[in-house]
Amino acid sequence: MNVKSCEKQEKSQVLLTIEVGPDEFDAAIEKAYKKNRRKYRVDGFRPGKATRKMIEAVYGREVFYDEAINEAFPNAYEEAVKAQELKTLDMPSVELDGIPSPAGFTFKATVPVYPEVTLGQYKGLSAPKMPVNVTDADVEARVQRLAERNTRLVSVEREAQNGDTVVIDFEGFLNGEPFEGGKGENHSLELGSDSFVPGFEAQLVGAKAGEERELNITFPENYAPELAGKDVVFKVTVHEVKEKDVPEIDDEFAKDVSEFDTMEELRADLRRQITEEQQAAADREFEDELMNQVADGITAEIPDVLVERQARQFVENLKRQVYQQGFTYEQYLKMTGGSEEKLLQDAQEPALRQVRMDLAVTAIIEQEHLEATDEDREAEYDKLAEQSGMDKKSIKKYFTDEQMTNQVLTQKAIAIVKDSATATEPAPAETPAET
């Protein structure tokens, strides 16, 4: 094998011109002959017994060339990549250069490689950082959420109001015929939650247990194509009307929902929690802004394959999220009226941003000669175990040492950027209103 040339192409691709010499090609032809000799019939010989020269004499000298090229290419290509010390990202596109002969053959291989990255400024940056400001209203909002989580639903013998929950059977009809996905039984629906198609919940206000209603609904134009903009009728049977029984906010409530004996203690702990949450959110936003600056500042020709790969990863993440919410991916596409092609198209811009971020972090790791020690990895395993409530042995089943090394190195790279940065006051418009 001989690498005749190695030329850089646009978007971080490399064009290799590789020559396979006569000895390598002849060895590949011999392998091709041994694999395929039973396919060729030569008078006077049983299948597979004719020599290579006899088969070539009858069928032509080039009879084994195609198979031999396929045999010789992988090793020649891998040796060329190794010789040129290339970090390839995908399979190459290959074409023959000229006509094969006993003297060998030449081929061209175009392959995307890891891009050369030039860092811009990554130390001494500045970005706005939101102040931490926990108000009494924030604390009371959290108290109300606790009360809502501990609210019971109790049956009532009256007409349903907004905020009530009705237990219903329903079935939808389009042009008098039931349509797919339009039926449910013993479904609990909170009126006013806007969780059903517009107009559905409003037409159940005033209904009582045992009542049957027909609801006239027009689906939104952005709904699934087969129902978008269509007029349908839902036949609904109301089985039960329930109202919220909200607990009284007093010391007994504090004892029921926490380890504290008084509301004063509970409110103090909630203020501490909210303060920590706001601080973490402010830190994340500050960090994100700094790393966006670093990513914007790199110079690199980014291969399309990296962006496509990241876009597909985003779509795979979406599939998992949809599944966790109890839907199939196909149902999600149907409900949103979308397609995988559209999702991948929409993912291109955020995928490019993520790729630039990843390249920037890797460049900092190399620039700063960062390393991950065994102690670093173990500390990260401990932190994940504490956050998830799982033991460390279980955590190690989900993460390899390589993944943990990457996580540790990424955190160290980001820390270098953040620790050298200056936090500035946000502009007045950026200051968040009271939660």
Each residue's pLDDT tens digit, 266-280: 999 999 999 999 999
In a domain, 328, yes or no: yes
End-of-domain residue from the set 61, 82, 112 = 112
Mean pLDDT of 54-66: 94
In a domain, 280, yes or no: yes
Residues 26 and 166 in one domain: no
CATH number, domain containing residue 397: 1.10.3120.10
What predicted TM-score, i.e. pTM, was given to this entire model? 0.72
Q: Are strands 422-424 and 126-128 parallel, antiparallel or unpaired?
A: parallel
CATH number, domain containing residue 200: 3.10.50.40
In a domain, 146, yes or no: no
Residues 376 and 400 in one domain: yes
End-of-domain residue from the set 211, 245, 279 = 245
The Cα diameter of the chain in Å comes to 104
C-alpha 218/C-alpha 337 separation (Å) is 16
* pLDDT tens column, 71-121: 999 999 999 999 999 999 999 999 999 999 999 999 999 999 999 999 999
pLDDT-based confidence at residue 199 (cuts at 50, 70, 90): very high
Q: Give the three-class secondary structure for 145.
A: helix
Residues 215 and 168 in one domain: yes
Residues 272 and 412 in one domain: yes
In a domain, 385, yes or no: yes
C-alpha 386/C-alpha 305 separation (Å) is 37
In a domain, 144, yes or no: no
pLDDT-based confidence at residue 391 (cuts at 50, 70, 90): confident
Mean pLDDT of 399-423: 95
Number of domains in the chain: 3
CATH number, domain containing residue 15: 3.30.70.1050
Percent of the chain with pLDDT over 70: 98
Q: Give, in order, the Cα–Cα distances in Å from 350 to each of 115, 291, 312, 360.
A: 19, 14, 11, 15
End-of-domain residue from the set 112, 142, 176 = 112
In a domain, 88, yes or no: yes
In a domain, 6, yes or no: yes
Residue 77 · residue 93 · CB < 8 Å = no
Residues 177 and 267 in one domain: no
Residues 223 and 265 in one domain: no
In a domain, 121, yes or no: no
Residues 18 and 92 in one domain: yes
pLDDT-based confidence at residue 435 (cuts at 50, 70, 90): very low
Mean pLDDT for the chain overall = 93
Q: Which domain holds residue 91?
A: 2-112
Residues 226 and 164 in one domain: yes
